Amino acid sequence: MEKANNFYKIQNEFAYKFTRLSRTQKIGIKRIIIAIDGPAASGKSTTARRVALRLGYTYIDTGAMYRAVTLKALLAGVLDDVRREPEHIAVLLQNITIHFEGDSVFLDGQDVTAAIRDNRVSREVSFISSLKPVRDTLMQMQQALGQQGSVVMDGRDIGTVVFPDAELKIFLVADARERAKRRYAELIAKSPKGSTLPDIEQLEEEIKQRDRDDEERQHAPLKKHPDAHEIDTSQLTIEQQVEMVYSLALQTSGNVKL
């Protein structure tokens, strides 16, 4: 655990320090933490990434981190063992490294950006993310990455558990059918030609089940923080929801000139 924390501390200071200082000074925005939570396919990642770009902030995709752990469990063939005895997940977490290079995600030094979006990972990530050792390990990594501010972080418990004192908390929601359509479009765009894909009806049922799993899990369940701004994205374009969150960020930061 100490090794992993040191890794993220070094990465945070080296890879992001210049970006956070120079970009925020350039556009004159006070450094704050923006926490964006919500259910699967509600538009969290796309919105968070684009808001971070407009603000000159660092974007941290915590969902990708949970997917990376899930992928590691699948590749190691230990899912059945972990279902029987959840404490076995601790072995998988030993010396695990997850880092970002732009939009790419690296697990133990390997680029897994495409692999973590596989539908097998989507089906199992809710179970893996419900395990307390996984949440505790990734929470420490996430807090290390965000401790200096100037970050946009999305997930399901960012505003309630990881950064409950974040200056701006957003909770995105959307109709399950609309979210299924978005997930289907994402799979089409990222899957090789000729791939067998689930239909929208199947994806909708999987999303509804994921919602139940996330809301009912014992550790850090999905829920809205009392201070969060709720935005229903069902009928919004990405540009519209990005603009809404960006405007809230400017209001929250006070648009302070540094």
Distance CA 93, CA 129 (A): 13
pLDDT of residue 4: 46
Give the residue numbers spanning the domain of 91.
Answer: 2-240
pLDDT of residue 255: 60
Backbone angles phi, psi at 105, to 5 degrees: -115, 130
* 219 occurs within a structural domain: yes
pLDDT of residue 30: 72
Low-confidence ranges of the chain (pLDDT < 70): 1-29, 255-258
pLDDT of residue 3: 46
Distance CA 11, CA 99 (A): 8
* 246 occurs within a structural domain: no
* 248 occurs within a structural domain: no
* 255 occurs within a structural domain: no
* Burial state string for 89-109 with b = 16 or more CB within 10 A and e = fewer than 16: beebbeebbbbbeeeebebee
pLDDT of residue 14: 35
Distance CA 183, CA 42 (A): 10
Q: How buried is 87 (Cβ within 10 angstroms: 0-12 exposed, 13-18 middle, 19+ buried)? A: exposed
* 43 occurs within a structural domain: yes
Q: How many domains does the chain have?
A: 1
* 247 occurs within a structural domain: no
* 64 occurs within a structural domain: yes
* 82 occurs within a structural domain: yes
Q: What is the CATH number of the domain that holds 168?
A: 3.40.50.300
Nearest to 41 by CA among 226, 204, 239, 212: 204
pLDDT digits (tens, 9 = 90+) for 204-230: 999 999 999 999 988 889 999 999 999
Please report the DSSP string for 16-53 in residue order.
HHHHHHHHHHHHT----EEEEE-STTSSHHHHHHHHHH
